[in-house]
Amino acid sequence: MPPLPSSTTVDPPPAPPVIADKPKPSPQERATRALTIQLIKYQQTSPVPFETIRLELEELIGVPIRYAEGIEPTQEMIQVDLANVSIGEVLHEITQQVDLQFEIDNHGILLK
């Protein structure tokens, strides 16, 4: 019987390189960046509840703006007319009008 032809092995094609996803920024990093967003104008000339503007800013920047424990949402009426400011400056202005302050914490922006 003639010898069997030797079998040739074929290496499998190399696996494609694995590209790691960029780590998502932490809530603190997102909040810090959001507060630096520059606005040409932020205007609410007729009085509206603070809560309305808080919710609008929260939606605009995509970062939670929460009340500290024991602080109730306020419906105090405020107005604002600012130009060439950052989101942080807008937040500073509106929180001053209702005797609140804000800080960045582990979850976003905290009103206290």
> Cα–Cα distance between 70 and 37 in angstroms, integer?
29
- What domains does the chain contain, in order, with CATH numbers? 27-111 (3.55.50.30)
Confidence of residue 112 (pLDDT cuts 50, 70, 90): very high
Indicate whether 102 pLDDT > 70: yes
HEC string of 37-70 equals CEEEEEEEEEEEEHHHHHHHHHHHHCCCEEECCC
Please calculate the CA angle 100-101-103 and round it to the nearest 5 degrees: 145
Question: What is the structure's pLDDT at 54?
Answer: 97
Instruction: Return the pLDDT at 5.
Output: 58
Whether the pTM exceeds 0.95: the reply is: no
Q: Using CA atoms, how far apart are residues 82 and 60, in angstroms rounded to an integer?
A: 16
The first and second tokens of residue 67, run together, are 């009340």
The mean pLDDT value for 2-7 works out to 59
| pLDDT at residue 88 tops 90 | yes
pLDDT at 6: 59
- Whether 28 has a pLDDT exceeding 90, the answer reads yes
Minimum mean pLDDT among 5-9, 10-14, 16-20, 71-75: which range?
Answer: 5-9
Place 17 in a pLDDT band, splitting at 50, 70 and 90. Answer: confident
As a whole number, mean pLDDT of residues 65-94 equals 96
